[in-house]
Structure 1
Amino acid sequence: MRNTIRKYKFIAVSVFIIALLFVEACNKSTSTITEKIVKPKPLKGELVLWCNKYDEAILSSIARSFEDKNHGVKIDILPVNETKIEEKLQKLRDSGDTKNLPHVVEVNTEQVSYLVNEIPEIFKNITAPHTDILRWKLKETSVDGENYAVPWNTDPKVMLYNADLLKKYNIDPFNIKTWDDLAEYGKKLNGHGIKMFAEYSDGRNNNLLSVMLREQDLNVYNDENEIDIDEDKLYRILAQQKLLYQRGIVDKSGDQKQAIDKLMKGRAAAMIADESIIAAINSDSKYKNHNWQIERLPAFEPGGKNSACGYGKAFMRTNSPDNDIAGKFIQYVMGDREINREIVSQKGYITSSSDVYIYSYFNAGLKRFNNKKLFRFMSEVAEEEKPVIFGSDYSKIMRQISSLAQRVIDNDNKKISDSEMIEKQVNDLMNK
């Protein structure tokens, strides 16, 4: 009996061991099969990206890094003047030379709608990378509900002050909360031959008008893509801008470089700064002997919105086949930790992907700005923004509004009031 029991135990143990070995073999086999299924194919092929001259160096550096990680990939970064993009793409389309289409085109955000409407057969709607893209930026790169670009940077605007100059006259920039405050403190500097505010052109409009339009969330298009301008808001913006000029606190500096030079020389105390200015001050030795202070934009009223962003850049994909390299490269630009460290340090770009805002370099204090956590500060500005609807004629309308703003500033004609000028211009735009 005992022998029989031992015999059955032996058989049971043997069966159990065989079963374990079988399961282990199956697991190994399944694991191997799974690895074969999941393991992605290595990227292979070429990618051509058109960009503006200003971003050529940083994108070339990122491209070399991407190539190092993907040995079968070759990326060509070609600088193209933003005003020539449409013309060059149309020539390729008309000639049927689709082989020479770039795979990716870097554009200003407001160009997306225009390009999609003018040459729709060139571009394809795309899926944003798997990163937490700010919702308002995605809306700005959408056309008729379809996304046609991946927004790159947010271009937050802040006020840059010559801290040494203002300290000399006992002015604390932190106390400048509204545009009226700026005007009042500016009167104090007028007596010393110093302008409070250096205004410059951003290449499209004067930058003061641009930030005021966004502070007031003034859209020129409604959700149906029809021109629909809030006349009261526009009047408030242009009246506030005119007041600053009438108080004599504004210096028309021409371009960005001239404006910052006037701050350095103590001829002006403040200017609106963007990412590129912040990056330059943070890295260029010629700015090291100055103390700078960054604050929020002045608001229209106490407690009002005191933030604004510019247009920013975006990546559009064409219909040229790219073996998925374009999507992977854009995702690399947007989400890679070390790449974004390089982008922030060299360009100051606050990316549209809020995933990277948690990284340590976004929370580092910058010596030239009194150890302020400036990139964190600017990312908070970016997160607060609301979308602008960019219709196909947006740039043309903005030029007309900019021209109107100058006419209002210059207007001292008793026969026609500023409000009448604005009403006429708005009616002309909306009735076209």
Structure 2
Amino acid sequence: MTPSPMDRRGFLKGALGVGALAAAGGTLTACAPGTGGAAAPSRLAKPSASATAAKGEITVWNRSGDLFKVFDAAIGRFREAYPGVKVNHMAVDIDAKLANTLISGTDVPDGSFWDDAKIGGQAEHLYDLSDLIAPYRDQIAPYKLSVNTVAGKIYGVPWDLDPGLLWYREDILQEAGVDPAGLATYDDLLTASRTVRDKFPKTKPIHLDKSPFLGQLWLEMLANQQGTSLTDAQGRLRLDSAEYRRIFTWIQDAVKDGLATRAPYLEPADVNTLDGGQQVFVPWAIWWSFAPQQLLKATKGKWRAAPLPAWTPGGARSGAMGGSSFVIPAQAKNPELAWLLYEFLCFKEPGYTALYGPSSVYPGGLSTSVPSFTPALDPAKPLFQPIDALGGQDLWKVAVEAAATIPAAAPIPAWWAKSVDYLGNNMQRLMDGTMSPDDVIGESAEKIQRNLIDRS
């Protein structure tokens, strides 16, 4: 079923997670964890009170929009389970306020929704949640656990998992004689794209994004598929690697062969070429499901989702693209009660079902991500329903199976958004044909190291 209409900017900020950095200008004012002489973060112990005995009041921050409404309804279920806890759920411009609030220590909330990309850079201002997460850590998607871990300590309560999927036009592939089940590798995708173009000359089948920021976010999904990321757990740059060179070479080949359409994500030029049959393959996160449900008119019902191709035979069939978690500030007044809320929403029934299942906001359920708590990821027990705009496809099953293959990662560096000025822009030059893969790697690595890592 189609979800209720939403503001596109609000949707993107909620779904992208890391993408919200762009709206905030990518500015992170705190130093990296363990630097600057800051006191060691406090370690939060498990509350001793039972559900019926827990009493007090907490203030939690969330983003405005439809996701706020979904969370508000789910918090209503928490109030039923913990009747003695009053929750003040506030819609706040988190990107503009939270980092500065943590640093100033004034009017600090008891908990907040936050992008995975920002948690590592603000760990010194957050509670260490390692003891609380410990009973669940073997049931949390490895990727989400890894991006919330800094120096062996866990600072975020993992919420959503955003698996990458290959979105494709089923009708065009059928006419071209391409079996989507045969798209096992990215080389297979190039071969299939040539077949489609030969059958339909106006197509340039593969979507490449014209936004430096989203292009780099997409790049990190492709790198995560291969078990790597821009930096390792110690913050060392690893852009100069076989994995990144493989991605850049593939992009170069797609562009040189005329197999790519470059368009800004879901802006009119993108929507028009998607609806017009020029774009046939969109390797992107699960939250692209928003497009056929809300924006595409002529091709609604013709799109389907499959696992991403692998970079090497037998490799992972998905990577993560964006994501968010929950944090508890070290200066929170009632951190134990905030933990009870986030534990309920992420790891307990009916908490995660209330978030992802059918609601007044999304009658068919929230289908732009899946939970990161693996007991909730049962292919046979979908939390959201098959989607009419995908021809009734069971997106839950596809997404859950893809999510199970996502490799672990490393904490996202605090300077990530600023690196778009180098890496993201150079990726666009690669797509223009004015830089080679080695040029992108060499120039981007040198500038990121000099201007961001060495100065952090």
**When the two structures are superposed, what TM-score results if normalisation uses the length of structure 1?**
0.77
Aligned match of 1:150? 157
Structure 1 residues 370 and 423: alpha-carbon distance in aligned structure 2, compared to 1, 3 A threshold: same
Structure 1 residues 129 and 359: alpha-carbon distance in aligned structure 2, compared to 1, 3 A threshold: farther
Aligned match of 2:239? 229
Aligned match of 2:209? 200
Q: Distance in 2 between matches of 1:216 and 1:367?
A: 30
Q: CA RMSD in A?
A: 3.3
Question: Does 1 or 2 have the higher relative contact order (CA < 8 Å, sep 6+)?
Answer: 2
Equivalences for residues 111-122 of structure 1 within 5 A: 111-116=118-123, 120=124, 122=125
Contact 1:408 1:421 (C-alpha < 8 Å) held by counterparts? yes
Aligned match of 2:400? 379
Structure 1, residues 223-260: CA drift from partner, whole Å, max 9, x if none?
A: 33333433333222211112112222222231246546
Q: CA deviation at 1:164?
A: 1.9
Contact 1:44 1:73 (C-alpha < 8 Å) held by counterparts? yes
Contact 2:143 2:407 (C-alpha < 8 Å) held by counterparts? yes
Aligned match of 1:312? 323
Q: Which runs of 5+ in 1 are unaligned?
A: 1-36
Letter in 2 for 1:70: Y
Letter in 2 for 1:313: S
Q: Distance in 2 between matches of 1:412 and 1:384?
A: 35
Equivalences for residues 7-406 of structure 1 within 5 A: 41-54=52-65, 55-90=67-102, 93-94=103-104, 97=106, 100-116=107-123, 120=124, 122-126=125-129, 127-128=132-133, 130-131=135-136, 132-190=139-197, 191-200=200-209, 204-206=213-215, 208-256=218-266, 259=270, 262-278=273-289, 290-318=301-329, 319-322=331-334, 324-345=336-357, 346-348=365-367, 349-358=369-378, 360-362=380-382, 366=386, 368=388, 369=390, 373-389=394-410, 390-406=412-428
Q: CA deviation at 1:336?
A: 3.2
Q: CA deviation at 1:300?
A: 2.6
Contact 1:263 1:270 (C-alpha < 8 Å) held by counterparts? no
Letter in 2 for 1:128: I
Q: CA deviation at 1:403?
A: 1.7
Contact 2:353 2:383 (C-alpha < 8 Å) held by counterparts? no
Q: Which runs of 5+ in 2 are unaligned?
A: 1-47, 358-364
Letter in 2 for 1:76: N
Structure 1 residues 363 and 418: alpha-carbon distance in aligned structure 2, compared to 1, 3 A threshold: closer
**Matched position secondary structure for 2:60:** strand
Structure 1 residues 148 and 377: alpha-carbon distance in aligned structure 2, compared to 1, 3 A threshold: same
Count, aligned residues: 384
Structure 1 residues 419 and 39: alpha-carbon distance in aligned structure 2, compared to 1, 3 A threshold: closer
**Matched position secondary structure for 1:384:** coil
Q: CA deviation at 1:373?
A: 4.5
Q: CA deviation at 1:187?
A: 3.0
% identical aligned pairs: 16
Aligned match of 1:19? none
Structure 1 residues 103 and 130: alpha-carbon distance in aligned structure 2, compared to 1, 3 A threshold: same
Structure 1, residues 155-202: CA drift from partner, whole Å, max 9, x if none?
A: 001011121232233322222222233223323444431231233368
Structure 1, residues 402-422: CA drift from partner, whole Å, max 9, x if none?
A: 222222232447xxx542452
Structure 1, residues 30-86: CA drift from partner, whole Å, max 9, x if none?
A: xxxxxxx99655332322222233521211111122223333333233233343144
Q: CA deviation at 1:125?
A: 1.0
Q: Distance in 2 between matches of 1:418 and 1:182?
A: 20
Q: CA deviation at 1:273?
A: 4.0
Aligned match of 1:10? none
Contact 2:211 2:264 (C-alpha < 8 Å) held by counterparts? no
